[in-house]
Structure 1
Amino acid sequence: MSMRFSSEKKRSIILYLLEKIEQRVENPSKIVSEAFNVNRNTVHTYINQLVEENIIRRQKRGIYELVDNSFDYIFLKSKNEIKNETQIYNKTLKEHIEDLPQNVKEIWEYAFSEMVNNVIDHSDSKKLFISVKKDYLKTMVFISDDGVGIFEKIKKHFSLASLDDAICELFKGKLTTDKENHSGEGIFFTSRLMDDFAIFSSDKIFAIDKFDTSNIINVFKASEGGTFVVMKLSNYTHKKSKEVFDKYSDAYGGFTKTTIPLKNIFDASPVSRSQAKRVLNSLDKFEEIVLDFSGIAWMGQGFAHQIFVLFKNQKPNIKITPVNMNEDVTKMYNHVINTRQD
């Protein structure tokens, strides 16, 4: 006979069970029963309930997968349908997240509106495709258009040397090709609110973390040209929009701080002054810059000196904080800041 638990404990067991199923572990009932010290029959009862409720489906003996539902939409400029992000949100994502907690709905409403607004205002797109994919644990949204391509647009507008320079600028925030109507914060904050976020365009990718492209790369290749945005968020996230905004704001609510993950900008360890200048370009808009060195094995003297000595002397009011430096990076950092420049 299965044991009876409080609804809170049962919910914890079920969420853990679903996570293990999503991770495709073999024999999830054994792992869950050991983790929560419950008998296997109880876990099997929960599995059967989840199958009956169409939350999971059995693939083969002992192997299950989450059931997801997909919803696809298309909007055409010729029908005057690509003009209002709120209307598009109401026609697409809104109904599918109605049952989620308020903090999750607020994040989605902000992120979705910002990304669709970019298409409306910047892309000159004739078609907008939106796909919503939801299972019990998470929701994914795919937004694609057939416009000019976001990286190409930024490169052209700011007369940058390459598409990589355009992507580098996006990591910083406050980048906009339309100062009258946009603050340039949308992509920056959306990328930090989501669990996974990526933009594909012109055979390039912008992502805060190394993005697993395996499950969506075919979709991207199918949509030639334009821009393809992928967003993923747990239906049970504890993130709150306000906390993420506050993390990068001052006491008056201004967007004053930025974090730059260097591993996403450089394929190898950065060495030169020109690479440093690429990172520093337009950063004088901020009061505090956090340079994240995780995944960076080493940095060259020219790169370090340009950032931590020259830029610091030129802009003494801007605080630069390096984080996640390994031993070799720390040595070079200490070398340049402790060497007298006569």
Structure 2
Amino acid sequence: MSVRLNFDHFIQWITAAAREHSHQLADHVVERTGCSRRAAQAMLKRLVEAGWLVRDGGFSRAVYHPGSLRQVVKSYPLYGLQEDLPWQRDFAPNFALPAHVGRMVQHAFTELLNNAIDHSGGTSVTVSLRQTPTHVQLLVSDDGCGVFDRIAGTYDIADPSLAMLELSKGRLTTAPQEHTGRGLFFSSQLADVFDLHANGTAYVRRAWDSSGWRPGKALPRQGTSIYFAVALDTTRTLDQVLGAWSLDGTGVAFDRTVISLRLLAGEGQALDSRAQARRVTARLERFKRAEIDFDGVPDIGHAFADELFRVFGLNNRSVELVPINANRRILALIDNARNG
């Protein structure tokens, strides 16, 4: 009985196989899949033509190496998993990334995997890392409770948009004794494309879109899935990103944040209430500077302005609130509130 070979399945493991069995790759494929040698060689030829493999020599003495397209997909039980070992053992050796990109990917990989281990409450996680000639793409998916449900249970924030508002500030964690709330935030800042999916809800961030997080089209699955992609020719570095959120530029402290009010109000809606303002100021005492981004917000009410820029300011003089992307009317209301 002939074995049917699936190309999409092959590309999940052929990169590592080519590195580990470069001189006997056809034999390895036969042993792993149970196919004929002829079928194995035909599949390897197809993978070479598609860019997944590079072949030196003829078929009789072929030596294979990973090509310009590379991918590793692995699933792990979460219990007892240590996030550094999959990176060191299963992923890093199989990719050829520019040094500064590799450093960012390592940071995101270990932080996102650690989040799944420590916060998801699930049993398993699947990690996929793919390199193309232009980009590197990371996907981490667990079968846990979902990040927004986790936040709802810890902070009593049932609305996913409000949970996303808190996540977007940074320094939010559901395990404050063990974590600082930096991992997800900085991973999103490192990426060109960052998608966060959990239990039918999705938010996406694009590095070229200054408006920050926006609702996205959710994946139909239980748990949390996070997609991270960055261009191989990016000039962004881990140190630059860390430094951008540190007032002294060293990247040691995380004392600056930006709050996108569109997550609170929705596109084109005004902000009127003190309750809304208090959602904005939640946890801001942990920062020294908070930039309040009014992009997409056409108007605010006196109560909102007073609560945010006078009441909070009087009680938290160590926190500098800086409005950005505000229209003239909003700026006038802010000035009026500050002047009491």
C-alpha separation in 1, matches of 2:125 and 2:323: 40
* Structure 1 stretches of 4+ moved >6 Å: none
| Aligned residues of 2:164 and 2:263 also touching (Cα < 8 A) | no
- Pairing partner for 2:103 from 98, 101, 106: 106
Aligned pairs (5 A) from 1:160-239: 160-208=157-205, 209-210=212-213, 213=216, 217=218, 220-221=219-220, 224-239=221-236
Q: Structure 2: how far apart are the matches of 1:227 and 1:164?
A: 16
Q: Is residue 121 from structure 1 mapped to residue 122 from structure 2 by the alignment?
A: no
Matches within 5 A, 1:53-202: 54=51, 70-77=71-78, 83-97=81-95, 99-202=96-199
Please state whether the residue corresponding to 1:131 is helix, strand or coil: strand
Within the candidate set 237, 240, 257, 2:237 is matched to 240
Match of 1:274 in 2: 275
Q: CA deviation at 1:205?
A: 2.5
What's 2:4 paired with? none
| 1:281-311 Cα deviation digits (max 9, x unpaired) | 1111111111122222222222121111111
Q: Output the TM-score relative to the length of structure 1.
A: 0.71
In structure 2, the residue corresponding to 1:83 is in which secondary structure?
A: coil
Alignment check: 8 A CA contact 1:69 1:135 kept: yes
Distance 1:198 1:269, change over 3 A: farther
**Partner deviation per Cα, 1:211-259 (whole Å, 9 max, x = no partner):** 6956xx5xx22xx211111111111111111121112124472211111
Q: Report what 1:319 is aligned to.
A: 320
Contact 2:246-2:256 at 8 Å conserved across structures? yes
| Matched AA of 2:239 | K
What does residue 301 of structure 1 align with? 302
The percentage of counterpart residues that share the same residue type is 26
**Residue type at the aligned position of 2:240:** E
- Equivalent position amino acid for 2:305 in 1: A
Per mean C-alpha deviation after superposition, the further-off stretch among 280-289 and 255-264 is 255-264
CA–CA distance in structure 2, aligned partners of residues 69 and 246 of structure 1: 31
Distance 1:308 1:213, change over 3 A: closer
**Unmatched segments (≥5 aa) in structure 1:** 1-51, 56-66
The DSSP-based 3-state class of the residue aligned with 2:299 is: coil
* Residues 207, 264 of structure 1: 8 Å contact kept: no
SS in structure 2 of the partner of residue 316 of structure 1? coil
Residues in 1 aligned to 2:285 and 2:161: alpha-carbon distance in whole angstroms = 20
SS of 1:143's partner is: strand
Unmatched 5+ residue regions in structure 2? 1-48, 53-67, 206-211
- Distance in 2, matches of 1:241 and 1:132, equals 19
- Paired residue type of 1:287: K
Distance 1:92 1:237 in 2: 25
The residue that corresponds to 1:290 in the other structure is 291
What's the secondary structure of 2:113's corresponding residue? helix
